[in-house]
Amino acid sequence: MSIQWFPGHMAKARRQVTEKLKLIDVVIELLDARIPLSSRNPMIDEIVSGKPRIILLNKADLADEKITAEWVNHFSTQGIKALPMDALSGQGVNKIPGECQGAVKELMEKRRAKGMQVRAIRTMILGIPNVGKSSLMNRLAGKKVAQTGDRPAVTKAQQWVKMGKTLELLDTPGILWPKFEDPLVGLRLAASGAIKDEIIDFQEVSLFILAYLKMYYPQSLQDRYNLKELPQDKIEMIEEIGRRRGCIVSGGHIDYDKAAELIIRELRGGKMGRISLERPNDSFTVDMARVQLMEVDYEDNR
């Protein structure tokens, strides 16, 4: 699947971020704990250009705890501090101000040595759409200061938010990159909800999900859909799930679109358990998912 989505406001956001960086002390990079690398915009390394940075692994409550621990270690080996958290429940959020202070400790000491007045730490929150930036700001502020929504591209403009006397946050719109070089990145982003549903193929994304879960979380699939065993063919699997969940059209045929959407919604909502769709040094490939072949199989079985 080739997913490319780069709305005009995202190009504008990149320019705004670059312009505002000179005002920023530390960058908060917000990633989806279920897909840390796929939700990490590779342009940000270029954009932030050496600024102190903290990585927050949001939606950790939906991700596999063991895999999240592996990601924390993965980033640690690169000298990057990664903190699992959940902006909605507030888990881990109280650690963020302290992490920001630690990241700019040397900078603040230099300012004190020069006799400069120590001001609030200025941070910038960066992340792809629907990763939870506005929810994080609301949680840190203890009130609703940013618009939220369970869909990408809710935030359209930058805004400063004061968090007491110690922290000031600059929110920015989510920034995707113009082209996904790896097709798996597009599939993972679509599965997680980072891309508008209107432009994705539910059937293809659901087939990817089933292939990944069959490889790493087969028991979760069996438990969720009461399957005694998993069909070898992914089309048979989606048909069985459709039958068990009443995704039927006239004539008793399976409504593939409805069944596919059901699978995606239940994954996103954590109904299948805590699932990570990406892991360090992941061996899963598009060829292993057999996405293109499954599309042909689907057309033959309609």
Q: Evaluate if residue 177 carries a pLDDT over 80.
A: no
Residues 2-26 as b or e (16 or more Cβ within 10 Å = b)? ebebebeebeebbebbeeebeebbb
* Residue whose tokens read 């995707």: 176
Q: Average the pLDDT over 270-281 and give the result.
A: 96
Confidence of residue 155 (pLDDT cuts 50, 70, 90): very low
pLDDT over 80 at 204, yes or no: yes
Question: Do residues 200 and 264 lie in contact, with contact meaning Cβ atoms separated by under 8 Å?
Answer: no
**pLDDT of 47-66, one tens digit each?**
787 788 899 999 999 999 99
The pTM of the full predicted model, rounded to 2 decimals, is: 0.84
| Long-range contacts, stretch 97-101, CB < 8 angstroms, 24+ apart | 97/140, 97/163, 97/166, 97/167, 99/54, 100/25, 100/26, 100/28, 100/54, 100/167, 101/166
Q: How large is the average pLDDT for residues 204-231?
A: 94
Question: 162 forms bridges with which residues in the sheet?
Answer: 168
CA–CA distance, 285 with 289 (Å, rounded to integer): 6
Name the more confident of 6 and 187: 187
Please tell me the CATH code under which domain 8-171 is placed. Answer: 3.40.50.300
Mean of pLDDT over the chain = 83
pLDDT tens digits for 280-296? Answer: 988 888 777 655 434 43
List the domain boundaries for the chain.
8-171, 201-301
Query: What is the average pLDDT across 256-273?
Result: 96
Do residues 38 and 185 lie in contact, with contact meaning Cβ atoms separated by under 8 Å? yes
Better-scored residue on pLDDT, 200 or 151: 200
Q: In this structure, which amino acid lies at residue 81?
A: K
User: Has residue 239 got a pLDDT over 70?
Assistant: yes
Look at domain 201-301 and name its CATH class.
mainly alpha
- Give per-residue pLDDT as tens, 82-91: 999 999 999 9
Is the CB of residue 137 less than 8 Å from the CB of residue 96?
A: no
Local confidence band at 11 (pLDDT 50, 70, 90 cut-offs): low
pLDDT value of position 300: 40
pLDDT at 157: 53
Amino acid 154: pLDDT: 42
User: Which residues lie across from 126 on neighbouring strands?
Assistant: 29
Check: CB of residue 26 under 8 Å from CB of residue 52. Answer: yes
Quick check: 153 pLDDT over 60? no
Q: What is the pLDDT of residue 161?
A: 78
Answer whether 8-171 and 201-301 agree in fold: no
Spatial neighbors of 17 by CB under 8 A, at least 6 apart, are 47, 124, 126, 172, 175
